[in-house]
């Protein structure tokens, strides 16, 4: 399982995915169908997400049934941005179609 913060044109969102990377072509295609055609993403530790989101994390995780699925854990950009320290984010991944 991968967790990532994606900075998009409308602000940051927090995603959980079973894809192998945050720039996996299948994941990028799914994001594009939702109007996200470019982004800056930061992979974050699943443990950190579990710690910060508690029960909400487990509820969302239970919805991941398919091998190549993804779930939005938090789409409130203000909340996502304030929940994680910039120092926790590590190296960015850039994607543009």
pLDDT, tens digit (0-9, with 9 covering 90-100), for 15-73: 998 888 999 999 999 999 999 999 999 999 999 999 998 888 877 777 655 555 788 88
pLDDT score for 66: 52
- Listed in sequence order, the DSSP H helices in 1-97 are 25-33, 46-62, 77-83
| Number of domains observed in the structure of the chain | 1
pLDDT score for 18: 86
CA distance 64 to 45: 17
pLDDT score for 72: 87
Contacts of 21 (CB under 8 A, 6+ apart): 2, 27
pLDDT score for 93: 97
How far apart, in Å, are the Cα atoms of 32 and each of 25, 55, 61, 63?
A: 10, 29, 22, 21
Domain range holding 55?
2-96
Range of lowest pLDDT (4-13, 33-42, 52-61, 88-97): 52-61
pLDDT score for 56: 82
pLDDT score for 92: 97
pLDDT score for 67: 53
């Amino acid at each position: 399982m991968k967790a990532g913060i994606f900075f998009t044109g409308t602000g940051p969102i927090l995603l959980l995915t079973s894809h192998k990377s945050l720039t996996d072509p299948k994941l990028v295609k799914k994001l594009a169908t939702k109007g996200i055609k470019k982004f800056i993403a930061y992979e974050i530790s699943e443990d950190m997400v579990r710690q910060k989101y508690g029960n909400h994390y487990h509820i969302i995780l239970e919805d991941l049934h398919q091998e190549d699925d993804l779930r939005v854990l938090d789409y409130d950009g203000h909340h996502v941005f304030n929940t994680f320290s910039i120092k926790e984010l590590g190296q960015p991944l850039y994607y543009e179609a």
